[in-house]
């Protein structure tokens, strides 16, 4: 089946981040979003360890050891960036100051619950800032594959993996669809060209309502590929 | 005349006693007090409770501390899969872990430093980390009650300091160092350089000297100066 690559999902998420937004990108597919932001939009990327305005990875020979991101990689800063400590950083995250957080997920439920911090069977638990973002930021975007490597739906009626937070996801971007979480349940907004709503539903455990203006995703061909696993 | 400087990291860690609670600053390698942690390992006080964001990586400083058998409990938010020593001893049941969401960890330390007796936060509601915690509904939203964290000893890293204990940081070094400096009975800072009194602009002091007991100027731990592999010719 044709689907978006990881970069394709990131490209599609980037289109929904408005000019001047303040955004935290989680590890995995979410950090790839940074590569597809329009510089004209002047979007500020937040790093929980104390940066607003994360820039690109430094050029070879330009690494400064005092500048790292939450993912522990080295970084530069953009024009207008600021640096601060954990207290101010988590005030931004917990106090509804960031406009968007993009995170990966193991499961998302129809009511907006999601699980992303503890893989079942993981021997040493680690949570970081995921729970803080989930309750403190209004627009929680999830970027993930639609199903697991084994083909199991990740958009479910109720999460079985340990929850990150209840009822907080606003929009889900997958390799085949864009789905909104609403008061009345999940609403299918976009599908990958060539697929129909019935196909998306067949790969989704929770029921999907189809938006009246549901349409095909506008993503360049370079971001489409054939799923190899499964 | 006030002079909070000490000559060595071993002097700075010498008061640490068995069973002490110790906060360690840093996030990743940035702002990690690598030399003070190595001195703590040499000092050898046991049954420590460590409060930090993670559990270090590799086989030096914080990463190695958990392999020395000196730690009985870790209060942290993100002991990463690369924290091999912690992982090994945690899985053997030799080190207890209290996992705390990172923002809650920050605010618990802030509360400890600010004399706040606890606070309510929505972070963690409905998750397994809410187990056993008092809850309260405020304006229709559920919150968890969280207790403050304080430490007998706090070890942090800054860029520069003066003999009054005023500190400045650079880049992403501030991270946990600033808030932890407020929450200890005894706070020692490792700095790149001790500068003459009066040379730090008062506007640029990040941690005022009131919070700092002692500071030591020492070259950074060599492992913290290593560039990533792809940067080495």
At A227 the pLDDT is: 62
The pTM assigned to this predicted structure is 0.96
Please report whether residue A184 resides in a domain: yes
Residue A207: give its domain's CATH number. Answer: 3.40.1080.10
At A1 the pLDDT is: 77
Q: Which of B192, B196, B198 is nearest to B219 (CA)?
A: B192
Q: Which of A42, A48, A183, A205 is catalytic?
A: A48
CB < 8 Å to A94, chain B:
103, 107, 121, 123
Hey, are the CB atoms on A83 and B228 less than 8 Å from each other?
A: no
Please confirm, yes or no, whether A48 is among the known catalytic residues.
yes
Residue A230: pLDDT band with limits 50, 70, 90 = very low
Render pLDDT for B184-215 as a digit per residue (tens, 0 to 9).
999 999 999 999 999 999 999 999 999 999 99
What DSSP designation does B204 have? G
Is B217 in contact with B193 (CB distance < 8 Å)?
yes
Please report whether residue A227 resides in a domain: no
Is A157 in contact with A206 (CB distance < 8 Å)?
yes
Please report whether residue A50 resides in a domain: yes
Task: Name the residue range of residue B27's domain.
Answer: 5-116+150-219
Q: For the residues B102-115, what does the mean pLDDT come to?
A: 98
Is A48 in contact with A70 (CB distance < 8 Å)?
yes
Please report whether residue A137 resides in a domain: yes
Q: Which of A116, A117, A146, A119 is nearest to A206 (CA)?
A: A146
Q: How far apart are the first and last CA of chain A?
A: 10
Q: For the residues A144-167, what does the mean pLDDT come to?
A: 96
- Count of domains observed in chain A: 1
Please report whether residue A229 resides in a domain: no
Render pLDDT for B209-226 as a digit per residue (tens, 0 to 9).
999 999 999 999 999 998
Hey, are the CB atoms on A72 and B171 less than 8 Å from each other?
A: no
User: Among partner residues B77, B87, B171, which is closest to A124 by beta-carbon distance?
Assistant: B87
Render pLDDT for A96-112 as a digit per residue (tens, 0 to 9).
999 999 999 999 999 99
- Count of domains observed in chain B: 1
- Provide the mean pLDDT of chain B: 96
Task: Name the residue range of residue A141's domain.
Answer: 2-220
Residue B232 has pLDDT above 50, yes or no: no
A208: β partners: A186
Please report whether residue A155 resides in a domain: yes
Render pLDDT for B133-165 as a digit per residue (tens, 0 to 9).
999 999 999 999 999 999 999 999 999 999 999
Residue A63: pLDDT band with limits 50, 70, 90 = very high
Please report whether residue B140 resides in a domain: no
Please report whether residue A228 resides in a domain: no
> Which residue in B has a C-alpha nearest to residue A91's C-alpha?
B103
């Amino acid at each position: 089946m044709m689907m978006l690559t990881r970069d394709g999902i990131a490209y599609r998420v980037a289109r929904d981040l408005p000019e001047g937004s303040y955004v935290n990108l989680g590890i995995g597919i979410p950090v790839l979003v940074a590569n597809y932001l329009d510089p004209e939009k002047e979007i500020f990327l937040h790093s929980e360890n104390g940066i607003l305005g994360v820039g690109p990875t430094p050029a070879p020979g330009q690494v400064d050891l005092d500048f790292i991101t939450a993912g522990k990689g080295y970084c530069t800063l953009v024009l207008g960036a600021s640096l601060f400590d954990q207290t101010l950083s988590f005030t931004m995250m917990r106090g509804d100051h960031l406009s968007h957080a993009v995170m990966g997920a193991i499961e998302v439920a129809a009511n907006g619950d999601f699980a992303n911090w503890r893989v079942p069977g993981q021997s040493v638990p680690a949570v970081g800032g995921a729970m803080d973002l989930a309750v403190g930021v209004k627009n929680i975007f999830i970027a993930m594959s639609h199903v697991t490597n084994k083909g199991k739906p990740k958009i479910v009626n109720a999460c079985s993996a340990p929850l990150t937070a209840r009822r907080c996801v606003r929009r889900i971007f997958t390799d085949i669809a864009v789905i909104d979480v609403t008061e009345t349940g999940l609403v299918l907004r976009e599908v990958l060209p060539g697929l129909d709503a019935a196909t998306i539903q067949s790969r989704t455990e929770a029921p999907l309502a189809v938006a009246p203006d549901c349409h095909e995703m506008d993503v360049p061909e370079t971001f489409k590929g054939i799923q190899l696993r499964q | 005349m006030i002079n909070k400087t000490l000559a060595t990291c071993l002097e700075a860690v010498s008061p640490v006693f068995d069973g002490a609670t110790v906060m360690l600053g840093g996030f990743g390698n940035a702002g990690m007090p690598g030399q003070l942690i190595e001195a703590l390992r040499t000092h050898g006080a046991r049954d420590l409770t460590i409060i930090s964001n993670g559990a270090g990586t590799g086989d030096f400083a914080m990463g190695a501390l958990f392999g020395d058998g000196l730690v009985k409990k870790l209060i942290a938010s993100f002991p990463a899969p690369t924290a091999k020593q912690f992982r090994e001893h945690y899985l053997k049941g030799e080190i207890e872990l209290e996992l705390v969401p990172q923002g809650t960890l920050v605010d618990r330390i802030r509360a400890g430093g600010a004399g706040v007796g606890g606070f309510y936060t929505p972070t963690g509601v409905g998750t397994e980390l809410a187990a056993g915690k008092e809850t309260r509904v405020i304006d229709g939203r559920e919150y968890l009650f969280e207790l403050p964290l304080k430490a007998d000893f706090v070890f942090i890293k800054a860029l520069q300091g003066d003999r009054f204990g005023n500190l400045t940081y650079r880049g992403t070094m501030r991270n946990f160092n600033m808030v932890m400096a407020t929450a200890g009975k005894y706070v020692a800072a490792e700095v790149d350089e001790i500068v003459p009194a009066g040379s730090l602009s008062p506007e640029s002091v990040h941690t005022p000297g009131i919070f700092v007991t002692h500071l030591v100027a020492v070259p950074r731990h060599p492992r913290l100066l290593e560039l990533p592999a792809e940067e080495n010719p």
